[in-house]
Amino acid sequence: MNNLFNQSEDIKQYLSSIFIKAGVLPWFLGIALIVFSFASSNFLTPTNLVAVARHSTDLILVAMAQMIVMLTAGLDFSVGVVLAMTSVVASMTMVALWSGYGSGWEAIAIGCLSGLFVAACIGFVNGIGVAFFRVPPFIMTLGMSSIIFGMALTITGGIPVYGAPESFTNIFGYGTFLGVSITIWITLLCIALIFIFINLTKMGRYFYAIGGNLRAAELSGINTRIYIVGAYVLSALVTGIAALLITARLETGEPNIGANYPLLSIAACAIGGVSLLGGVGRVQNVVLGAFFIVLIQNGMNLMRVGSYLQMVVIGVLLIVAISAEYFRQQMLSRAKK
């Protein structure tokens, strides 16, 4: 009897150590794989998993952008309108510059740069408001969401922008290299660059320091305001890249895209173990968190679960993930004592 009790205690401690080290994500992934594998025979097929990887690229990019801001103890609810405005500006610029003949690479290049410039401007205004005027990140980015969304609808009249060069769609929307989608290659490159930036550069380490303890970062000589602005600008630029890829796939500039991305990106970060209080988070976990959300959506689609109910599930996962992360931090604190 004592042996059985000791074994159960050992198992409990082992599971607790896994939870403390890895967070809630491995548990979510395990449950999802088991449930959807039994629910549909198509779920774990290579074709379906490749499709999930392809469809997860947009959310992975936006989630990494959200993580950059969250590391500094911020939140960016404007990622959705950054997607919309970047898409609209890039498309309108391409349409205005392309003659309708040839590949239109000059128009594509200038259009993409214009879209990214507008995205960076939105991030810059967000950063200035948060860092210099001390507007809470939630209020600042939510207000910018309303402003930018209204501007996008005013510019386009709520109508998608058609007429971008076909080369843009054929390569960045549906092109492949070595049998793998160009979109996936671009996303992998962005993951690698952001991983290096966050973990191996001074600016990346400063983001952790600012989110961990703003006052201590200031006392150590870090110009926290400049770095907070930089975080919002970088976040908007990464979101802008996602917007260009979405635009290429849709073949239009859409003023209405991105409505769900603020919630989904925050959920991906929370599931990946990024703290809402700042200073904690890993790029690889956020990538897996975003992939998990798309995997969940794919599994529910195979089970023919309605889109409205899917949003309920995502909301529940967000609440559970944040609650679990709180308890994980408590357990981690007790373990260090």
Q: How far apart are CA 124 and CA 143, in angstroms?
A: 14
> For residue 224, what pLDDT is reported?
96
Q: Rounded distance, CA 188 to CA 54, Å?
A: 11
Q: pLDDT digit string (tens) for 276-317? A: 889 888 999 999 999 989 999 999 988 888 878 888 888 888
* 218 lies in some domain: yes
Distance between CA atoms of 330 and 317, rounded to whole angstroms? 20
Give the per-residue pLDDT at 3: 58
Is residue 85 scored above 70 in pLDDT?
yes
| Better pLDDT: 99 or 18 | 99
How many domains does the chain divide into?
A: 1
Burial class of 21 by CB neighbour count within 10 A (0 to 12, 13 to 18, 19+): exposed
CATH of the domain at 44: 1.10.3470
Q: What is the tens place of the pLDDT at every residue in 247-274?
A: 999 989 989 888 889 989 998 998 888 9
167 in a structural domain: yes
Q: Over 60: is that where the pLDDT of 165 sits?
A: yes
Is residue 311 in a domain? yes
In a domain, 178, yes or no: yes
User: 102-121: per-residue pLDDT in tens?
Assistant: 678 889 999 999 999 999 99
> What local confidence, expressed as pLDDT, does residue 62 receive?
97
Q: Is residue 116 part of a domain?
A: yes
What's the confidence (pLDDT) of residue 69? 97
Radius of gyration of the chain (CA): 21
Return the pLDDT at 328: 73
Please say if the pLDDT value at position 10 is more than 60: no
pLDDT interval class at 4 (50, 70, 90)? low
Q: Could you read off the pLDDT of 12-56 as tens digits, one per residue? A: 666 566 566 666 788 888 888 888 888 888 888 888 888 888 899
pLDDT, greater one: 210 or 306: 210
pLDDT at 82: 97
Domain contains 18: no
Residue 301 lies in a domain: yes
In the chain, % of residues over pLDDT 70: 91
User: Phi-psi category of 278—alpha, beta or left, where left has phi over 0 and alpha has psi -120 to 50?
Assistant: left
Q: How far apart are CA 22 and CA 8, in angstroms?
A: 21
The pLDDT of residue 8 is 60
- Average predicted confidence (pLDDT) for the chain: 88
CA distance 247 to 106: 17
Model confidence at 236: pLDDT above 70: yes
- The whole domain housing 30 covers 24-336
Torsion sign, CA atoms 294, 314, 273, 246 = positive
Q: What is the pLDDT of residue 242?
A: 96
Contact (Cβ atoms closer than 8 angstroms) between residue 136 and residue 68: no
CB atoms within 10 A of CB 204: 21
Decide if 15 is inside a domain: no
Collect all residues with Cβ–Cβ distance below 8 Å to 257 and sequence separation of at least 6. 80, 83, 84, 87, 243, 246, 250
